Structure formats: structure tokens, C-alpha cells
């Protein structure tokens, strides 16, 4: 089956009485040009031969197939038991593929089952995509993440301080990663066609704050979560004992947040 052919993908679903689940974000990528662009972005600066790749939500395996064709070893985590059960056999049971039937959130919480990866490459489900991505980057164990996301989510992740889309997810992601939106991906590139637009994002670990200990990181998450929950308030009114400032949460840089977090950490020790 040609996994980039909408008609063939649709026919397989009909023949196998499989109905794509929108709640689970089962919008399959069916555009070869977009597929190649995604995989090219994943291997920028990385030799694909033997590279260890985590793929969340492989679906029918269109991206899995291309990753394997380039010589990578792929661990595919699929929540849908039907799709997980068919994936390896449908791709010819390649030796470089490991399929895990599980929720990606549980897999990340379990320290990826003890596995290590060079990159994560995924077409993430719209509803759970943000949480999956933030849980993965919080581990700081995957150097590069290339993923398809809802455009609105991608813009929040990439937004700089003072930007209209600046929010908690971007602050948390940018603590350890540089975030770049590579391209928009039209809804016509998926089947079933989603109701929202998508974008391809690349997150690269920068290592600027590797010296932050676990206590400082917990303080960072605590204060940013509290501040963005009250984003209309001035920071100085939210943390009067830590900072004097008339700025609001979206105006602060990562370095500003780190300074406040260190102040909170010192106050609690």
C-alpha cells in the first residue's frame, strides 16, 4: 500500500472497518513532499544510519517507513491497539523497528523504558500534542524534536517575550530548547482532513541552562505556572517579595524567570 496515497489509505480503512478517531488525532499524513521535508529536518546534522528515533503516534506507518528506509532505528509508540498490532507486519517486520503499544505520556513518565534517543520525529495528535511534547522536553533526554503540531500550538511554543502568543508552553520549552517553525502544512496533506491548520516545528536542545538543579527547575515551573494563570497582573504584584516590576508574564525572558526562580529557591532554603 502506498501510504502517501489518500485513496489507498482510505480504501484500507474501509476494507478493515477502521474508522480514524479524531479524538485521538488520527489524521494521517498523505503528502510525500511534506513527508520528505519532515524527515530531512530530523536528520539535519545527524547521520540517519543507525540513528535512534522515537516516533509518537506512527498511525499507518508513513513516517516510520521513511525513517527506516534511511537506516534509522525506530521505536514507535502507538496508543491505538489496532494500529500498533498491524504496524510491524505491514512494513515487512523490519529489524530496526520496535513497536510499543502504550500511551506516550506513560512512556515518557517511565523514562522511555530506559531507552535513549537521538531525536523524536512525530505527527502529534492535536489534543494531547502539547502535553506529550512538554513531557518529552522536560526529560532533557532527546536532543532534537521534529513534529507536526496544530499551528496555534507551534506559534505559542516559538513565541518570544513580548510576543502576542507568548505563554506557559513556550516558556517551558525554551528553557532547554531553541524552537523554530519550519513550514506550514496544509490541511489537504492529511486524511481525514483536519479542521485546523498544522505546522512543522523543530526543537533543538541548546544547553544554556544545564547548570540549573532540580530544585531551581521546580521553582521555575511553579512561578511561571502561577504567573501565566494571572497574566493580566503585573509581576511585581504576583511576587511582591521577589521582584519589583510593572511587566506582565509574557514580557519576561527565560533569564528573567530564572532569576525569580532562584530567588524563590533561596527563600525556601
The C-alpha atoms of residue 255 and residue 240 are separated, in whole angstroms, by: 19
- pLDDT category at 52 given cuts 50, 70, 90 is very high
| 172 compared with 23, residue with greater pLDDT | 172
Residue 42 has pLDDT above 80, yes or no: yes
- Whole-number pLDDT of residue 262: 87
Residue 269 has pLDDT above 60, yes or no: no
Q: 62-69 and 32-42 are packed helices; what angle lies between their axes, rounded to 10 degrees?
A: 50
The C-alpha atoms of residue 195 and residue 25 are separated, in whole angstroms, by: 11
- pLDDT category at 267 given cuts 50, 70, 90 is low
The C-alpha atoms of residue 176 and residue 63 are separated, in whole angstroms, by: 26
Give every CB contact of residue 1 below 8 A, 6+ residues apart in sequence.
Answer: 8, 9, 12, 90
What's the mean per-residue pLDDT of the chain? 94
The C-alpha atoms of residue 165 and residue 151 are separated, in whole angstroms, by: 11
- pLDDT category at 266 given cuts 50, 70, 90 is low
The C-alpha atoms of residue 171 and residue 204 are separated, in whole angstroms, by: 15
- pLDDT category at 263 given cuts 50, 70, 90 is confident
The C-alpha atoms of residue 105 and residue 102 are separated, in whole angstroms, by: 8
The helix/strand/coil state of 209 is: coil
| DSSP class per residue in 135-159 | HHHHHT--SEEEEEEEHHHHHHHHP
The C-alpha atoms of residue 257 and residue 247 are separated, in whole angstroms, by: 12
Residue 91 has pLDDT above 80, yes or no: yes
- pLDDT category at 24 given cuts 50, 70, 90 is confident
β-pair partners for 78: 101
Residue 268 has pLDDT above 70, yes or no: no
**Tens-digit pLDDT profile for residues 197-246:** 999 999 999 999 999 999 999 999 999 999 999 999 999 999 998 888 99
Residue 25 has pLDDT above 90, yes or no: no
DSSP 239: S
**Tens-digit pLDDT profile for residues 141-169:** 999 999 999 999 999 999 999 999 999 99
Per-residue pLDDT, averaged over 249-262, amounts to: 94
Residue 30 has pLDDT above 90, yes or no: yes
Spell out the domains of the chain, with CATH numbers in brackets. 6-205 (3.40.50.150), 214-267 (1.10.8.100)
- Whole-number pLDDT of residue 116: 97
- Whole-number pLDDT of residue 264: 75
- pLDDT category at 250 given cuts 50, 70, 90 is very high
**Model's pTM, two decimal places?**
0.94
Largest CA distance in the chain: 64
The angle subtended at Cα 65 by Cα 3 and Cα 2, nearest 5°, is: 20
Task: Say how far residue 248 (Cα) sits from the centre of its chain.
Answer: 27
Per-residue pLDDT, averaged over 79-103, amounts to: 96
Amino acid at each position: 500500500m502506498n501510504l502517501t496515497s489518500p485513496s489507498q489509505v482510505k480504501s484500507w480503512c474501509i476494507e478493515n472497518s477502521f474508522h480514524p478517531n479524531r479524538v485521538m488525532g488520527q489524521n494521517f499524513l498523505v503528502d510525500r513532499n511534506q513527508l520528505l521535508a519532515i524527515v530531512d529536518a530530523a536528520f539535519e546534522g545527524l547521520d540517519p544510519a543507525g540513528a535512534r528515533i522515537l516516533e509518537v503516534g506512527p498511525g499507518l506507518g508513513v513516517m516510520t517507513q521513511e525513517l527506516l528506509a534511511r537506516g534509522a532505528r525506530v521505536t514507535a509508540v502507538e496508543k491505538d491497539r489496532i494500529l500498533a498490532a498491524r504496524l510491524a507486519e505491514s512494513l515487512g517486520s523490519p529489524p530496526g523497528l520496535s513497536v510499543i503499544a502504550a500511551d506516550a505520556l506513560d512512556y515518557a513518565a517511565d523514562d522511555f523504558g530506559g531507552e535513549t534517543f537521538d531525536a523524536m520525529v512525530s505527527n502529534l495528535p492535536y489534543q494531547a500534542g502539547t502535553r506529550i511534547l512538554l513531557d518529552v522536553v522536560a526529560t532533557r533526554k532527546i536532543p532534537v524534536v521534529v513534529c507536526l503540531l496544530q499551528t496555534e500550538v507551534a506559534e505559542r511554543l516559538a513565541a518570544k517575550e513580548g510576543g502576542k502568543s507568548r505563554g506557559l508552553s513556550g516558556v517551558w520549552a525554551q528553557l532547554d530548547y531553541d524552537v523554530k517553525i519550519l513550514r506550514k502544512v496544509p490541511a489537504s496533506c492529511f486524511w481525514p482532513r483536519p479542521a485546523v491548520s498544522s505546522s512543522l516545528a523543530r526543537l533543538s536542545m541548546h544547553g544554556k541552562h544545564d547548570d540549573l538543579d532540580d530544585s531551581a527547575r521546580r521553582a521555575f515551573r511553579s512561578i511561571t505556572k502561577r504567573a501565566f494563570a494571572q497574566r493580566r497582573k503585573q509581576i511585581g504584584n504576583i511576587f511582591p517579595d521577589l521582584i519589583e516590576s510593572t511587566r506582565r508574564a509574557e514580557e519576561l525572558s527565560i533569564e528573567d524567570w530564572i532569576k525569580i526562580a532562584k530567588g524563590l529557591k533561596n527563600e525556601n532554603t
